A and B are shown apart, each in its own frame.
Chain A
Amino acid sequence: MEVFVGQILPYITVAIFLGGITWRIWRWMIPRIVHNITLSPFPSNWVEAVMHPVVQLLTMWNVLKFDRGLWIGAFLLHFSLINILGGHVTGFYWVGEHFHVWAPNLVTLHQSKLASDFLGTVFGWLLFAAILILLYRRFAVEKVKLVSATSDYLHLFLLLTIVSIGNWMRNVRDFSVPYQVARDVLAGLFTFNPVPLPDNPFFLYHFLFVQILMIIFPFSKLMHTFGMFWERWIVNRPYREAPRGLPGAQIQP
């Protein structure tokens, strides 16, 4: 199982993940934007039209404005998730020394590793809390319960499982995996020279569940990551008003 999950499955996962996303987006590109259904107030030019979804993305503005309770959970989830994903990339690539690499005069090697540990721990717990908030909403808030399908709960449970195992490895010293070991596993995969997984069941399951998430990603609502931009491209486009004034009239503006 270790060999399959650690050295074979990752290639299948990545192929499904990238291929699936490409296929879904390909399918979105086949139909046209038939009529101009931009929402008003209209953006007056393309810069405004592009800035609108960017602001929405960075602040989750609509959620903040129309559903404060959801915003707390959703913003926390996405903000911690993006930091954790970024942390996995930078943390493993520079084995926790990235802050020192980026600002050698300001941050020492030791400080960089401490910061990496600290941020990973904090965002790990924040993400855990955010998932619990969203799960609570699905179970307890009537209107959310009414729109939820089984898969909506399962996505959250899958995330919760991944995050719980991740937090376990980070917070329980006996089960933690050094950055260098994780780096070797990933480097092996990226260079098509896979190495065996460390002897740690938590790492195995963390790695397996992440791959399951990546496999279902293109075939689930998780595609909203991209869908948001495709949708906004339709409903936030510039519009130019027709000129005013009545031809032939005696009084003109």
Chain B
Amino acid sequence: MSANALRQPKKANEALMRSVGCDPVPDDKKVEAAIQHIDEFRKKVRSFVMAMESCVKCGLCAENCHTYLGTKDPYNIPANRADLIRKVYKRYFTVQGRLFGGLVGAEELTLEMLEKWYSYFYQCSECRRCGHTCPFGIDTCEVTMVGRQILYWLGIGPQLHTATAGAILKTGNHMGLTKAGIEDTLEFLAEEIKDDYGIDVEFPVDKPESDILYIPSSADFMLNPGTLKGAAMFFKYVGANWTMTSRMTEAGNFGYLMDQNRIQRELVSRLFEEAVKLGVKKIVWGECGHGWRAAKMYIPTMSDYVGSRRIPITHIHDEVAALIEAGKLKLDPTRNSRKVTLHDPCNYVRACGHCDVMRTVIRAVTTDFVEMTPYKEQNFCCGGGSGILFDDPDMYQYRIQASQKKADQVRATGAEILCAPCSICKAQLYPMVKEHKLPVEVHGLIDLVGNALVWD
């Protein structure tokens, strides 16, 4: 297949790559550099090596991946996606690949192969359903991450991810919102809450001597304001001394999706700079799937700040669920009486142990909750996971194809509200609902909590 026929998102230009700290490699040096990077990874990252060396090609993962189900493209079978690097790995780093290349499916690395990497590693949503279903637990997400990291080092990355990472480095959030813009929006949200619920809610930003640092998803300022309003109402309700920080108004981490070595790490450092500066005792995370995984699972091994060992981080769902379990929240579920179903964000359920927490909350704040099938850790990705929310026509079409499985699941429930407590899921599900003509509204989970709180 020629490179032109590949489905690829628009690439970032060299200036943009440089602006986020990448030093692009010229084409004639790319292959050599990529092999060197694979060599580095195989000596450093065991999850990568085991994914390279343990697959028996049983084919079980194929029909457990929504991208293959939606596109029927052979390279979207997780085993084959990983094989795009595995073939090269075999050729250069295994005895069998060096001696009997063709027989064991080893291949030389070429620029054409790198184009394939770019195409298929940015069709993977890093949802880990293949890892969950694999008999050995081989996590193709790890291979995708290595693939994307190497491509980034070579100077190849999507316009969307690179620009988004650039925005967060510059402004502290993916949407590129300034502090003034944020405060403006928050003022407006406070007025809406006053109008709808008759209560005065504050949205503190950079408030010194706060106890709690809340990290919202920046999409909540614009696309999903209900989630941000719900969080503020919850903090007000429990009487918490909380704040947000203008330098880190982003629960997501596009570094995690493209450049874990530098951008993800830098954002983690920035988070703790702010936490330490504000003197907070706890960090509470907003609704963002990949961001929560990046925070919960990666910070302990990634942060150089001693604060990261001392300041606990929880998800806002954890806190709401704990209070519901203790019977400390007065909630009126009849305010959310339409039939609701829950989309389990992949990072929550397969990487963060978040299944039961979400159910504790949703059962307490709604009257008619139905599960979709399959659900919990077996759930399928929305099709936008790992930030592949590309708008160029070909990739948009791909997103709609990849969400076919999800659309079928939602339709079968007959729900009117699709609760998707993750910003990327929400951003993917809005067009999915439109294109697949589903009669549902998409909401976050904290939206429903805010709506159900009973104020005395």
Residues in chain A within 8 A of chain B (CB atoms): 24, 27-28, 30-42, 53, 56, 60, 62-63, 65-67, 70, 74, 137, 141, 143-144, 146-152, 154, 216, 219-221, 223-224, 227-228, 230-232, 234-236, 239, 241-253
Contact = CB atoms under 8 A, between A and B. Distances in A.
Interface residues on B, range: 35 or more
* Residue picked from A31, A33, A56, A150, most chain B C-beta under 10 Å: A31
B135 A56 contact: yes
11 contacts: A60-B135, A62-B60, A70-B58, A74-B58, A150-B105, A220-B104, A235-B47, A235-B131, A239-B353, A248-B241, A253-B325
A88 to B, nearest CB: 23
B328 to A, nearest CB: 5
Contact of A219 (B60, B94, B318): B94
A184 B43 CA distance: 45
Nearest to A222: B56
Nearest to A245: B322
Nearest to B80: A147
A190 B435 CA distance: 69
Contact of A150 (B63, B103, B301): B103
Contacts of B409: none
A146 B58 CA distance: 10
Nearest to B55: A221
Interface in B131-145: 131-139, 142
A62 B50 contact: no
B45 A32 contact: yes
Contacts of B64: 66
B62 interface: yes
B426 interface: no
B211 A247 contact: yes
A147 B86 CA distance: 12
Q: Which of B102, B104, B128, B325 has the most CB of A within 10 A?
A: B104
A251 B301 CA distance: 32
A31 B133 contact: no
Contacts, number: 220
B239 A227 contact: no
Nearest to B234: A246
A222 to B, nearest CB: 8
Given A66-B60, A147-B59, A147-B77, A41 B47 contact: no
Contacts of B56: 152, 221, 224
Nearest to A24: B53
Nearest to B354: A40
B2 to A, nearest CB: 20
A121 B61 CA distance: 34
B437 interface: no
B17 interface: no
B57 A148 contact: yes
A32 B237 contact: no
A9 B63 CA distance: 44
Given A39-B132, A150-B102, A230 B353 contact: no
B222 interface: no
A231 B136 contact: yes
A251 B453 CA distance: 14
Nearest to B299: A35
Contacts of B57: 144, 147-149, 152, 221
B312 A251 contact: no
B337 to A, nearest CB: 26
Interface stretch (B4-12, B117-125, B162-170, B344-352): B344-352
A81 B321 CA distance: 49
B377 A41 contact: yes
B79 to A, nearest CB: 5
Q: Which 5 A-B pairs have the closest CB atoms?
A: A250-B239, A149-B105, A227-B54, A248-B211, A40-B353
Contact of B79 (A35, A147, A247): A147
Which of A154, A246, A247 counts the most B-chain CB atoms under 10 A from its CB?
A: A246
B238 A249 contact: yes
A37 B351 contact: yes
B353 A241 contact: yes
B46 A234 contact: yes
